[in-house]
A = this chain, B = another copy of it.
Amino acid sequence: MAPSAVSTQMTADLTSAGIKKTLSETVSSTEAHPTLAELDASLLTYNYTTSPRTPPERGNEAASKHSICSDHMITAAWDHQTGWEAPELKPYGPLSLYPTASCLQYATECFEGLKLYRGYDGNIRLFRPDCNARRMLISSTRIALPGFNPDELLKLIVKLCAVDGAKWLPRDQPGRFIYIRPYMIGTDASLGVQKPRQALLNIILAYMPVMDANKGGLRLLASQDDMVRAWPGGFGFAKVGANYGPSLLAQGEARARGYDQVLWLLGQNGRIEVTEAGASNFFIVWRTKEGAIELVTAPIGNNIILDGVTRRSLLQMARERLEGGWEDIEKLTVVERTFEMKEIVEAVSEGRVVEAFTAGTAFFVAPVSAIHFKDQDLSIPMNQGDSGLYAGLLKGWLKGIMYGKEKHEWGLVVEEQSSEA
């Protein structure tokens, strides 16, 4: 196309145009590219392990230096000329990648994180896995990896859980969970800086330690000017590897100084905005100067922060059950807006902060007890001892759904099959 023929409109938004194009191709890919095979969970082949692994005892999930993974994984390869190959369930094990693979050089990689829960009713459940499957498509598109139908990814996740669930989350041990990591990498073995022409989708199940039980609450160290996690026009909203590796240096410094996580700030237009904490969303509950209680968190519209599934669920739950008041508990209002560090400083100094917490799949809902910002140690109340009142309520409601104590559309029961089938 001759550049002179390009309209203003077409050049206004490189990223959103690229995302729209990929998503529209994904939705109607058989029409647009009749020769490209779609990701199709019904084509899954089963190659069961002949060397079954031993699951760790309860409480020993993080005993190994390596993440302990289940017996099987699912892989599906993609090529730009043929599309998606039939997915395969096979024994968990290492991948073979050429040194020139795109993912090892140019960070063409994205992932999701969700959990499979062994419920008190004996069933295993996923929590809103459709949200993860859709977000994975947004992430893969942003990092120039192929599109797919999210419903098919969800079916593959369910099939892997169905095979390994019974053994790895024993039925007589309700309350346990295993972490599910679907991810995609560019495998194109070419050093050219370009959109990968080959990719691999892989789904694994791995144990993770329980991380929401920090008795003293999380201590956060606010980031400074030389360490910004995400920026306008960047990719903070996508679950791509490129959002995580660059954060580890500051995280390491924070830990060396006695803090648990970094509170990510973003300075722009003379403001210092609060965005996320560690790899989680950040929430604060405060009393306004007018005396009302607000649950405040950063908005997702500006593409800086991750559209967390736990975040979304907490907000919806809070709107449904807390905005009208719950039993004898004072009602609050949910507010999604950009907010500044100086608002927190002021609220702390005026005694208006009620509580704060982070939320994400890995750490679940973790109360915050302190924020260090510039030369100030800001103390955050945890009025229930190990949590704030509202965080405790919200966390309890979500756990109830996850572990089958409350029947709710967010909980998806997985039918278990034996891997010996």
Contact = CB atoms under 8 A, between A and B. Distances in A.
Interface stretch (A5-13, A308-316, A339-347, A382-390): A5-13
Contacts of A262: 14
Contact of A235 (B10, B73, B185, B246): B246
Contacts of A249: 14-15, 18-19, 141-144, 195
Contact of A105 (B4, B99, B241): B241
B224 A14 contact: yes
Given A14-B223, A144-B249, 13 more contacts: A12-B224, A14-B249, A66-B98, A92-B99, A104-B185, A106-B244, A106-B248, A143-B245, A194-B251, A195-B252, A228-B233, A228-B234, A268-B268
Copies in the assembly, this chain: 2
A135 B181 CA distance: 33
A100 B66 contact: yes
A127 interface: no
A interface, how many residues as a size bin? 35 or more
Interface stretch (A167-175, A253-261, A348-356): A253-261
Interface stretch (A286-294, A322-330, A369-377): A369-377
6 contacts: A15-B226, A95-B97, A104-B109, A105-B241, A143-B248, A240-B246
A34 interface: no
Given A191-B67, A233-B225, A234-B231, A99 B202 contact: yes
B105 A257 contact: no
Nearest to A16: B226
A1 interface: yes
Nearest to A248: B144
Interface string A31-74: 00000000000000000000000000000000001110100010
Contacts of A250: 14-15, 18
